[in-house]
Structure 1
């Protein structure tokens, strides 16, 4: 029996599809458990801004890798991958079906293809890069590795520096090294990718609506409480929605400007996600679904059928 890895853009309906698949499997006598592939849902009390499952959803289906660390703590890709693989093995050992779901596509790729780490970081090169302004770093990345620049958010300085560091160390782009890694490490045939595909205009409308809903649900109060308590560490405070509201609390943006910036940055993030998705969905055995054109019941059945396809 295979298991799905469901990915797609922010506000694209990933969690709804995962829950629907879990319910359908339950009706067929197969218990399912969900494994979150979201870089910020791991943090406790960051609920509204990360669109965590509701209490009812958490009670209905066992979820893994949600609320596992304090937002003051760092959390790495390597940590997530180790915990995800442990959770998946545990779920399968109980005879249940894992369903991996999330929008952090670097997590998804590491699960599907293994963790490419590259050369050991060079402290001298990294210090040189960290001394450069963000605009200069971005320009260099676009020049030496345009494919990586398309994947990496312009505000993601950490990954930008890592990509440039690898290029300066090896003379090869991180994209070419990752491609070579992928060729040498075939995917686990028991996993199959489910990609939810949206046109830009449609997903942008959904993103704007989600941000309005989050505000109505109490996003500002949630972020303020975490910020005032000093609980947001360097990683957590970079989360979409949280970063912009922190700027508001610190007097750099009005509330309305912060909310508008959340919409803008989330739409930009979704654009980067679409670049990742185009790379991911080329893998053999992947399924691409278009929620805007398909009924959820049909999509659910398509995923369930693939679980039992040998």
Structure 2
């Protein structure tokens, strides 16, 4: 895979990571990210000198490298992971260890209960707060994670979408539970064919959001995204890359370790908590299969097999999206 030649490049296995270039000192006065609420419509993309981004597919080793990078850069880590926000869902989300979090402060981990809805808009607002907090204390920021929707919102801003309609959403989720998400996907295809073409028939969260936007605005979700503002800043982005066979092997081993480490027991405990596990967390690879296992719909071997397959598919989607970034530095892990 080609690598960007304009920035530092790191290669090799464990212990051979090159030291990144020193972080430039912050400019005098505040250096803002020009968040969407107060940004001009078509600003020239700029590099935020005190912000770095480390991404890559799931199981590529982002967390361990991030801690080393953060210590070198004098940075704090802001999680860009839609599953790491849930308290008590630890085994299946591969959160940074307590030791790593002790070495470097981490933001946006363990912020809501598993049954609570958590939107990209809410994450973006919290990320802006974390950036402001770090800057007040003279700390750099290292964004780490692989959730494409969050990364895109951070880079491009958010399309003007309505707030979630809890009652309408609950009705759709109940309908999907009774008749399957494919039924709602066909309905989305009727009102918004471009969105339906991009969204997998089993991706209930995004299907429901598409139907919700069409219901609230009378316009398709794809039209709203077409109105997304131009990029607000150009991220200093580093992306971990592994050979596909190596990545798949790491994914399979990680999934086996997750189930051996108590993923099913963790899921059972979360289901028993007030609010249970909401649709956002329940559809995640690993937890969806553990829920089916707890309910007696599949056995352990099938749960592991399905989780491995879905996680490999997730990694493929992440890499496809990450390749759309220009001027990224690809790091061979």
Aligned to 1:85: 128
- Which of 241, 259, 269 is the matching residue for 1:225? 269
SS for the counterpart of 2:89 is coil
Aligned to 1:250: 295
Matched, 1:105 2:153: no
**Cα drift, residue 55 of structure 1:** 0.9
**Residues 80 and 146 in structure 2, CA contact (< 8 A), matched pair in contact too:** yes
Aligned to 1:160: 207
Matches within 5 A, 1:160-309: 160-163=207-210, 174-175=221-222, 177-183=224-230, 186-189=231-234, 191-229=235-273, 232-234=276-278, 235-279=280-324, 281-282=325-326, 286-292=327-333
**Gapped regions of structure 1 (runs ≥ 5):** 26-30, 293-310
Work out the number of aligned pairs and report it.
279
SS for the counterpart of 2:130 is helix
Aligned to 1:115: 158
CA distance in structure 2 between the partners assigned to 1:210 and 1:43 by the alignment: 20
**Gapped regions of structure 2 (runs ≥ 5):** 1-48
Q: TM-score, normalised by structure 1?
A: 0.76
CA distance in structure 1 between the partners assigned to 2:214 and 2:273 by the alignment: 40
1:159-213 Cα offsets, whole Å, 9 max, x none, are 1244466679989864564354243xx3235x42222334543322221111122
Aligned to 1:33: 76
SS for the counterpart of 1:109 is helix
**Residues 156 and 232 in structure 2, CA contact (< 8 A), matched pair in contact too:** yes
**Residues 197 and 288 in structure 1, CA contact (< 8 A), matched pair in contact too:** no
1:54-89 Cα offsets, whole Å, 9 max, x none, are 111010000111112222322221111111110011
- Which of 63, 68, 79 is the matching residue for 1:20? 68
Alignment CA distance shift 1:168-1:195 (3 Å): farther
1:242-275 Cα offsets, whole Å, 9 max, x none, are 1211111111011111111111111122222223
Q: TM-score, normalised by structure 2?
A: 0.71
**Residues 141 and 149 in structure 1, CA contact (< 8 A), matched pair in contact too:** no
**Cα drift, residue 20 of structure 1:** 1.9
